[in-house]
Structures are given as C-alpha cells and as structure tokens.
Chain A
Amino acid sequence: MPAETVQQLVESGQTQMLNQLWELQLKNGFINDDDIKKIAEQFNLSTIEVEGVVSFYHFFHRKPTGKYTIYLNNSIIADIKGFKRIKETFERETGAVFGSVDRTGTFGLFLTPCIGLSDQEPSALINFYPFTNLNAIRVKDIINALNNGATPESICDAPADNIRYTPPGEKSIFFKKFEDGKALTHAEKLGADGVIEALKKTELAGRGGAYFPTWKKWKAAKEQTTTPKFVVCNADEGEPGTFKDRVLISTQATSMIEGMMICGYTIGAEYGIIYLRGEYRWLKPKLDEAIDDYRKKGLLGKDCGNIKGFHFDIRVQMGAGSYVCGEETALLESLEGKRGEPRTKWFFPVEKGYLQLPTVINNVETFCAAARILEMGAEQYMQMGIPGSPGTKLISVSGDCKFPGIYEIEWGMTVAELLELCEADDPYYIQVSGPSGECISIKEKYRRISMLDLLARKDIRCGGSFMIFNKQRDLVKVLLNFSEFFKSESCGICTPCRAGNFIIQRKLERLDNGLANEKDLEELKSWGTIMKNTSRCGLGKTATNSLIFSMEKFTDYFRGKLDKEYNGLNLKFDMEEATEDYEKYKI
C-alpha cells in the first residue's frame, strides 16, 4: 500500500478523537456538553459513546478544572516522601480542596497515581508541566508566582535524568552515544530473517514486564499476509515506581525510534505509533523534535536511510491518564479513540491489532535494546550479563535509599549489590516490578536479578523497578495504597477485577483497623487467588500479587495485625460512629 494511504488510514476516523478531546481539555479546562455533541456528530457516534470515552480517562473532565490544574501524585513513594504535608500546603495556599476547584476558578486540585518521577518525589503536574522535589516552601512560592501571573511553563522544573549507574568500563548498552542510522544499515545487511536471528540469539524478551521473546513476536508479525502492518511503541509506563522509559525517551529517543524502524523493516510495516502516557506530555516536544530530525536526515519518510522501497513514518499519540492502557490490547483500543478496555484473547495483536491489522507492540526499552543489538552486533551484546540471560537491564530505584534513579545493571547482579549501590537505608522489604510485581523480604537479598530459574523462584526477573521500604513503613498501608490504585485503575469490564479489588480493599481496611481474624487472612488469600485465575487481563491477574506474596513472606507481621480478643461476639462495630448521624436529631 502506498505510504500516503497508510497515513490517511491511521489518521482517519475515531483514531483522532482522543487528540481532539485533549485539545478541548487543554483549551477550556474541561469538555462541555456542546463539544461532546459536536464530536459525536463529527465521528458519527452517539453522544453516550463519546461520554463513555471521556469518563474513562482521568485527565478528561466534564466540569471546569481551574486556570491551573494541579495533579499531585499520591503513589506510595510520594507518601513516604511527605505527600501529606504537600497536600495540606496546596490546599491552604490555593483555598481549594482536593477533587475540586477554588471559588475563583483559578486552581483545581486533583490526585493522580504515580507520574513517573519516583526519583524526585513529592512531585506534581501543573497544567501538565512537572514540578519535582516539592516541599512546603516551594509549594508556597509556586502558588505565589502563579498568582502573580507567571506561567507554569516558565517556572516548572526540568526533571533530572538521575542515571546513577552503568556497567563500569564504558560498557553501557543503553546510554552510550547512539549513531543515527547505523543500526538500520546493519539490519538491512542482515535482512529480515537475520534480524530475527539476532534477537533470538540474544534472547531479547519484552521489557514491559511480560518477557515474551521479542523474536517470536516479530516473526509472527512478519508471517502475516495482511497489510498494512503497524509498529506500536508502548510508552505508557504506568506501573508505580517505574521511570526507566521516561529517562530513555529523554536521553535516547533516537535509539527507540530506530528500534521501531528496524521492527518495521523486519515485519514489513510502514507506520509506527508511540503511545506516550499523558503524564509525560512535557516530554512530547523533545520526542517530536527527534522524530522531525530523523525525517530531515532522510531516516524517516520515503526510502528511509537510503533503503529502496522501505517507507516508514512515526507519530506520537498521547494517552490521557489510565494505567490499564499500558496493557497492549487496551492500548490498541485507546489508539483507536475508544475506552481503554483490554480485548479478549480471541485474536493476538500480531494477527489483528491496531484497526484489526497485524501489529507489533513493544516496550520502549525493548525497542532501544533491539536497536543496540543491531548497532553493536549480537556477539558483543552477549558479552554482557550471564549465560542464558545476556545483556543489561534498566532498573528504576526509589524509596528509602540515598540515590534514587536509574541503574543499568548487568543481568546476574544480586539484590544485595543493587541495594548497596543505591545506599539503601535499612531496607526491610522491597517491591520489585511495581505493585503488580513481587514483594521480597530483605532475607532474600542474595537472589540474583536475571531471566533464569523463574519457576523455582530462585532468581528474580525485574520488570523495571525497585521500591525500597525500611522497617518504619507499615506494610498494610503499602498494600492499601496498592489496592486503591488497582480499584480505581481497573477498567471495570470484568467481574473479578471490578468487584474484587473493591472487596479486597475493604478487607485490608479491616486488617488495618485491627478487626481481622484468621479467617479474614484465609479469605484474603483465597479471594486474591480467584482474581488471579479469572481476570481478563494482567491488571486483575496481578493486582493481588503483592498481597499474596507478602502474606507468605511476612507471616509474623500479619499475625501481629489480628484481633487478639476475637470471640465472634463483637466484630468491633462502633455504635457511637453508627449513631452519630441520628444524634443530630436530639432535641
């Protein structure tokens, strides 16, 4: 298919709806009823469909959100870094209450889960510009400046990249200088099958956390006879505590772009889309610039990099505040301008993906790694890491440590070594790969970080983040923070996740209030397992991971939380609280 037609296809119809909604949201601070009607007419939809899309995304509002819309991060890392105080200060200084706009319509305060700045918490977005390392004085100054007419853009921070560690001896794979076009030239030399062979040899597996072998995905897509095909880069990075993709986009956008091009070349696709999370809107200009630069250099567009007949172009699609949109099929729905509801497994994206056409979706780090493998050659790449788990891995470290930031480790490093590098402060338990990942106790610090021995749970395969907690942190509070996250980020389409997360949260509240007994613990485990086994997508399947793991690993802690006088007579129903409303009628 000629490149123009592909471009027309990807930019037609409902696929543009999210962009239009974004425009309205940014222009007016909300999306009004008339605009919803107009959009419905324009895309030939019923208004309820447009309303359904608008109400799905966290950053779209139906009511005004103030001249300055402030989103404060309420992730667990923000929490331990002083979230509460910052929240109070914002309320005091603006006169607004979280969840609403002040009377003058100037400031709107909203909470939002992790915004990908866990290495510089507490942090917030004001009109989608980043403000990091907040303290009470800084918040005061910001609000003052805004009141005095400064624009958020002019006073915002430029978040640091905080690359703390790369393998010594300039052996960094991800962060050394990238020579534009070199990887693509090598790819052409190897040919499509050669590229797949190289990926297979280096055992590159999905760095979004699922570790699906990349070569298998690309090969399956290559074999599809339907055209056109698409390459999608998953830059949704919604897992709390993870920010490696942010740093890659900020410092290595070109290797990511070239990774997508190599994929396009291999599978026979002409178009790529980068799905960038709404929270990273401030990174978009930089990314657009890199894409433009590639176009100018003749690397994107027609006959890319002088490869005859290889046409490839890329656009960026902004997400709008939804964790589940990082799930690949939800992401596809979102790209099509719909609610981000994960699809069933009836078709795989490589068969029927974006617009029901063959599509490869990979994580930012996966594309960067693919480009590097082609650039440096499989042999050299395999010098790093350990046999069976070659190469390096990016880990976002945050929480109770001196040096939060990005660590590029060689596979095979132990947890203890990493904790030492970041100067962890009396670590007690560590949340690996975010809330949906695995929670480990300090007793497990000699476990290796690698892609091996997973079944025996010997090594630990990290999706991209380490959140470190010391002994002062209350585990149930952490789990409550996670369950609130999953409850509100669930797409709501399937029963176990929609109802289950709510139910689990209620139980955890009982535990937190000292009302739970042995039976409650058993039920938590059993219900968590039911959610795991029956949920439609990874969100519901993994939402109770930390809970189940922690119950196995911290049995004493959980036992200590139980109601010791439990006799079934009084489930600690609080009469005073329950009759408080009625007491108002006392004459």
Chain B
Amino acid sequence: MAEMVNITIDGKSIQAEKGKNLMQVAKENGIFIPSLCYYEHIEPPLGTCRVCTCKMNGKYNPACTEKVSEGLVVEVNTSELTDTRKALVEMMFAEGNHICPACEKSGNCDLQHMGYELGVSSTRFQHLFKDRLIDFNPQRMVMEHNRCIKCLRCVVEVKTSDGKKVFNYQERGNETFVGIDYEQEAKLTKEQALNAMHICPTGAIIVRGESLAAPFGDRKFDMESVQKDYNKKKTTHKNRPPVMGKKIVATVSLAGCFGCHMSLLDIDEDLLDVVELISFDKSPLTDFKEFTSRCHIGIIEGGVCNSENVETLRKFREHCDILVSLGECSVWGGLPSMRNSIPLSECLEEAYLNSATSEPGANIIPYHEDLPKILDRVYACNEIVKIDYYIPGCPPDANHIWKAVKNILWGEEYSILYSEFKYD
C-alpha cells in the first residue's frame, strides 16, 4: 500500500498517495483545475501551457508538475489566480488567429472550451498577427499553424511505427512553431494520424478527409460546464446608475459583414419595445448619415480597414459617451484581418488583377481621391480610439447584445449562462 499524505486544496482536506500528480488528485476529488497541455498518459508531464498555475504553499507553480507531499497547501480559485489563467488563455488567442465558426474543431476544442470556462470574452492583449501559413504539404494531414498553442503533445506522443518523431519544434522565442517531417508523416497509419488529430487540444492538426463535425449540442463541450458551480461563479454585470432622460443609440458597420447588425434585429417582437424606448441616431437602421445629437451609446461593428473607417470611428468617439465593440471583427480585426500577414500589394493584385473573377486583361487597381484609402492592415477599433466595452461573437447573440445595452442604459443587472456564453 502506497504511503498516504494529507494535503488541502482550497481549504478542503484530502488524503492522497504520496508523489502522485496533483492534477490527478484534484480530479479524483472532483476539483476542477483548468489545464490545456496536461495529458494523463504523458510522463513526465509537459508543463508548457501554464494554465494550471496554482499556489503551492504560497508559491506559484503549475499543478500538473506537482507531486503531492505531506502538508501541501494548494490554492486554486483565488481571484488573482483565475485572472492569471485567463490572461494565459488570452495570450494564446492573441498569438494565433482563431476563427472558431470556421474551425473543424469548434465545440470539440480544448482551447475554446477553456476560454468558455474561464469567461474569456475578449483578449486584453493586442493581437500579435504572427505570419503563419497553413501547411498543405503533408500527405495525410493539414497543419494549421495559426491554431497551434505549442502544447508539445504531438511532439512527444506521435511517432511512426519505427519510433521516429513526426512533429518537432522549430526556431525559438516567439518564432517557435511545430514543424512536420513529411517523410515520416507519410509513414503514419491512418490510426496514428487520427490519434494525432485527437490528442491535439486545438484544431491545428486536421486529417484530410476526416470530419470532426457534429451538430450543435452533440459536441464535446456543448451543454454543460465542467465546473459544477459555474453558474454561481459566472460574472454578473452589476447594477450601474441608469442614464437619465431619452436614450439615444448610434450604430455603424465598418469593416464587417453586417452580420452583427442582423443579429441586433434578431430579438423578434421585442424589437418593437426597444424602438419605443430607444431612439436611434446615426445608424444604418435609420439611414441618418450624420450625427444629429449626442448619443449615450455607440455600437461599432467591424474593424478598421480604410481611411473612412478611421474618420467614422473617431466621429463616434466624439459623439458618444460609451463605445461598444460588437463582434469579433470590431474586437480584434476578425476575418478581414486575415490579410494582415500578407503585404497589401499582394492582396490588391489578387483581388483586382489575378483572381478568377477579374475581367480578362484587367490591369487597374482602383485609386481615386473620392475613394477611401486602404490601410496597410486591418486594425482593431481599440487601436484607433478608446473602447469601453466588448461584446464578442461572430455574430454575438441578440439577447446578449440587448442585455448589455440595457445594463448600460437602465443599469439592469444581468449575467450570461454557460449555454449562452458561446461564440462559435
């Protein structure tokens, strides 16, 4: 019989086998410690993502590399630690380009799941836009470097039948990426390749011709939080002093697809109430081209891709008390910002000269004084002006938008259920 030790996790006394992995011990005792790279069968543990950072006897350390010992005191859920974990997950989102609605792994993705569990709605960090291309060269799979969080699982776990590695880190620092050995990859059996896709916590490794798709509701992380007390812990947006008098709102779509505006209208018959209570100033809904009065809220859809967007956004900042970024494109650039790692000239040439739909013999890239000027890259709104609130989603859920608006205007308290806190 193994030697037992006494430890406490968030004040709860627990007996555990000496030297056992703390992650395992917590799990067996129904305590949730957020993690990403940790994979039960890999020993020594990888310890790369740092999301499981807790305080051990007062010191910060990852839970997944901690062997339990007598008297160990673990703190998991302090507000500081929760925020720290959230920051780490936000870093991963800032490092890559994660367009969940277009991702094969959406709903089955550990990273996305961790984002939901930790309540990540937008990242506090500016997007880093590393130039990362998708690698289509491997025979069996496609490697989407943008989604890789460098957890090391594939590097350590995936080997050919003769024991050779298929994946390995390349370069270092913020240039680090996971390279694939094409020769070895071709030798993988179908099962081995599928295993690579499954152990990958994100949608970085996709096996050709294999679908992960499942209807919403049947996916791995759809309906319930793994935290039993999620709904108790969920963020409540507090009462705030209501705005007095008539409530005036302005909206605009910059470099967006109008999807967010569509969603805005998606509250069905409630819309009638809303129109009673709120008046819209400058907005595509009213077709007012200029501001006619000062507004309480300005709702911005889309990022900033040309000179006109910049001017419009600045006008909004000038005329509105509170600016809200609505939807992914507005929050960090979103889909249009996929051009950010490609030089502008290449984008324009592809669009106007070389694409399949351009006129034969086309040789002009439009330029006229009256046309807005295209910016070198797509900017997030908060790079141009100060933004007060963010509503994520592609598009954000209609109820969520109105809850936020009502909170600002009438000070109504609200919170979002796990099942609503979904942006894919």
Contact = CB atoms under 8 A, between A and B. Distances in A.
Interface of A: 44-49, 51-52, 55-56, 322, 339, 341, 343-347, 487-496, 498-503, 506, 523, 527, 530, 533-536, 568-571, 573, 575, 577-587
B53 A492 contact: no
Interface in B293-336: 307, 310, 314, 317-318
B84 A534 contact: yes
Contacts, number: 192
B150 interface: yes
A499 B385 contact: no
Nearest to A52: B168
Contacts of B382: 571
A534 B174 contact: no
B269 to A, nearest CB: 37
B45 A530 contact: no
A51 B176 contact: no
A580 B310 contact: no
B43 to A, nearest CB: 8
A48 B126 contact: no
B124 A498 contact: no
Q: How large is the interface on B (under 10, 10 to 19, 20 to 34, 35 or more residues)?
A: 35 or more
Contact of A503 (B67, B126, B374, B377): B126
A45 B165 contact: yes
Nearest to A53: B168
A492 B170 CA distance: 10
6 contacts: A48-B170, A494-B50, A496-B88, A570-B384, A573-B383, A582-B375
Given A347-B44, A527-B87, A587-B367, A45 B164 contact: yes
Contact of A568 (B47, B176, B317, B373): B317
Interface stretch (B91-99, B233-241, B271-279, B409-417): B91-99
Contacts of A580: 376
A508 to B, nearest CB: 13
Interface of B: 44-51, 53, 60-62, 65, 67, 84, 87-88, 91-92, 94-95, 124-126, 128, 149-150, 152, 160, 164-176, 179-181, 183-184, 307, 310, 314, 317-318, 343-345, 348, 365-367, 373-377, 379, 382-386
A270 B82 CA distance: 48
B412 to A, nearest CB: 26
B73 to A, nearest CB: 17
Contacts of A345: 61, 65
Give the secondary structure class of A's interface.
Answer: helix
A501 B47 contact: no
A490 B173 contact: yes
Contacts of B95: 498-499
B176 A493 contact: yes
Nearest to A346: B44
Nearest to A527: B87
A585 B367 CA distance: 6
A523 B376 contact: no
A44 to B, nearest CB: 8
A96 to B, nearest CB: 23
Nearest to B318: A569
Given A530-B84, A533-B60, A586-B367, A573 B379 contact: yes
B117 to A, nearest CB: 17
B180 A346 contact: no
B254 to A, nearest CB: 14
B70 to A, nearest CB: 18
A52 B318 CA distance: 51
B310 A585 contact: no
B164 A46 contact: yes
B45 A344 contact: yes
A495 B60 contact: no
Nearest to A535: B50
A570 B307 contact: no
A495 B92 contact: yes
Nearest to B181: A48
